[in-house]
Amino acid sequence: MKLPAPVSIKWIASLINAELLGNENAEATGINEIHSVEEGDIVFVDHPKYYSKCLNSAASFIIINKKTEVPEGKTLLVVEEPFDAYSKIVKYFNAFVPAKKMISDTAVIGKDTVVMPNVFIGNNVSIGNNCIIHPNVCVYDNCIIGNNVVVHSGTVIGIDAFYFNTKKNRNVWFKKMQSCGRVVIEDDVEIGANCTIDRGVSADTKIGQGSKLDNLVQIGHEVVLGKNCLIAAQVGIAGATILGDGVTLWGQVGVNKTIKIGDNAVVMGQAGVTGNIEGNKTYWGTPIEEFYSKRKELVFIKRLPEIWERVKNLSGTKNK
């Protein structure tokens, strides 16, 4: 999430009651998770396993729970509970504003766009030209929808991310990460009925131009779909996964988090994608394998009884 304007890191430190180490005169321009950080961003870390990754990331400001050597040009904000400090900053700059109307006065809806009855459109939503938003669609705050987009009934766009800070040494094991990202849907996209698209925790979830989603599709936080992707019914894609252009996922495919799927990859139905896969190939199964290799394997398995009978008969002939 980008801050509305550069903010003095001294002011941020006072907001979260942090001790400053390093460059105290810098200004923060955003707040992000580690996989999305850019120069000028604030990030948090509360586990030694990830100290090095955060300290050596692109982030300029690190909220941390231990004093350590400060990398050149960076600033540490030392607090007892980095997660709580991070959440306080997000809530301050991205405060919840209750809706008072079905269509917010701050929403912008383009020319010749049709919004059917019982549609909810939240604060600061932008919808382009020539779109059709069917009944009972819900578009949460700050989402962006391009031109020539069709969204079918019952779909919800911009739900909070299913993302929690987990520690088992406290009464509440799962503390929710406050979602401050957006959903961005590009031109010429069609989204089926009863789909759910989560907003990013701190960056954007993106649906690329020309992509088509069937009914009952779940898109996790900060997922990026390339252009002209085809996603069939009951597919679930976990957070921060990146699909290249022209990817096809057939029905009930499950995709793990933070992985990459190459351009024009095709994944057959009910497969489980647990790691990065190359583009321009067809895949199947769980764990996933190339489709044609897997098919040969299954053909061979089906022929095992026949092969076994031949072996037995051949052995009997030799014994005679």
Number of Cβ within a 10 Å radius of residue 104:
18
Most distant pair of Cα atoms in the chain: their distance: 94
User: In this structure, what is the dihedral angle of CA atoms 272, 270, 241, 243, given to the nearest 10 degrees?
Assistant: 120
Q: Token pair for residue 307? A: 């092969």
Dist CA 79 CA 64 (whole Å): 6
Sequence-ordered alpha helix ranges (H) in the chain: 9-16, 51-55, 82-93, 291-302, 304-319
Catalytic residue among 35, 47, 134, 221: 221
Q: In what helix (H) or strand (E) does residue 158 lie, and over which residues does it extend? A: strand 156-159
Dist CA 34 CA 58 (whole Å): 9
CB 251 within 8 A of CB 264: no
Helix-helix angle 304-319:291-302, to 10 degrees: 40
Dist CA 157 CA 206 (whole Å): 11
Dist CA 45 CA 105 (whole Å): 38
Q: Does residue 5 sit in helix, strand or coil?
A: strand
First to last CA, the chain: 81
Is 35 considered catalytic here?
no
* Residues paired with residue 164 on neighbouring β-strands, in sequence order: 176
Sequence-ordered alpha helix ranges (H) in 178-303: 291-302
Q: Which residues are catalytic?
A: 221
